[in-house]
């Protein structure tokens, strides 16, 4: 049975879909069987998946959608087909998010390098705690060497566990997402960033 990785954050634009797509491609390139579950009505992950399938003919991973209360059923189905099931969630924190958290072996909470994003984690961590799930903050769109980035990282560590790996503010993340690709399929610093994050996430998910 596969492991479930849920990406959740109540603030829009935090990079949830980018992280899901980037990790999905990296895991696939490592020979893992990957499945995606899009629970966000905006359907950004679904559009990425369709773009990928059109570009490559075979996306190389399973894909499904679910409303909040269909998450448990879809996860059970996908865990039988994949080593890792990545769940993208809508930018809100309410009862609809709880099924995606309940199914998670690990929850990633993306935080763009701003205090506003960090403040938006309060509700997410409250729900994660209620469901008794393991969570890790991933700093996203980090500008290296900035005082704000350092302050956000320091404050995030007081809120919860923070991944050692972070993602920089790079145009390539948006470019590859629009092309149905992942940064692991292009050369550059972003490729190494996602590889480090994948290493850390797989370590937290365990065998």
Residues composing the chain: 207
Rounded distance between C-alpha atoms, residue 88 and residue 173, angstroms: 17
Q: Record the pTM.
A: 0.93
DSSP three-state, residue 140: strand
Sheet of strand 84-88: strand arrangement? 62-65, 34-38, 84-88, 3-7, 106-112, 135-140
For 114, counting Cβ atoms within 10 Å of its Cβ (0-12 exposed, 13-18 middle, 19+ buried), the class is middle
Q: Which of 102, 111, 157 is nearest to 134 (CA)?
A: 102
Structure tokens at 200: 């850390």
Rounded distance between C-alpha atoms, residue 69 and residue 99, angstroms: 7
Indicate the angle between helix axes 16-29 and 189-205, nearest 10 degrees: 80
Delineate the domains of the chain, giving CATH numbers in brackets: 3-205 (3.40.50.300)
Least confident of 61-65, 99-103, 112-116: 112-116
Confidence of residue 145 (pLDDT cuts 50, 70, 90): low
Tens-place pLDDT, residues 21-57? 999 999 999 999 999 999 999 999 999 999 999 999 8
Question: What's the chain's average pLDDT?
Answer: 90
Residue 159: pLDDT over 90: no
DSSP three-state, residue 198: helix
User: CA dist 65 to 144, 150, 200, Å?
Assistant: 36, 37, 27
């Amino acid at each position: 049975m596969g492991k479930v990785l849920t990406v959740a954050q109540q603030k829009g634009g935090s990079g949830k879909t980018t992280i899901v797509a980037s990790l999905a491609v990296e895991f696939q390139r490592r020979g893992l069987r990957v499945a995606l579950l899009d629970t966000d009505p905006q359907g950004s992950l679904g559009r990425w998946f369709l773009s990928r399938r059109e570009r490559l003919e075979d996306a190389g991973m399973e894909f499904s959608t679910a409303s909040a209360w269909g998450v448990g059923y879809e996860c059970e189905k996908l865990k039988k087909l994949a080593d890792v099931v990545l769940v993208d969630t809508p930018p809100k924190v309410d009862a609809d998010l709880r099924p995606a958290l309940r199914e998670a072996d690990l929850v990633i909470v993306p935080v763009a390098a701003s205090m506003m994003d960090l403040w938006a984690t309060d509700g997410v961590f409250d729900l994660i705690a209620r469901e008794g799930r393991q969570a890790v903050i991933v700093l996203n769109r980090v500008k290296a060497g900035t005082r704000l980035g350092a302050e956000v990282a320091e404050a995030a560590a007081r809120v919860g566990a923070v991944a050692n790996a972070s993602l920089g503010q790079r145009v390539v993340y948006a470019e590859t997402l629009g092309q149905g690709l992942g940064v692991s399929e292009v050369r550059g610093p972003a490729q190494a960033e996602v590889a480090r994050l994948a290493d850390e996430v797989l370590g937290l998910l365990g065998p």
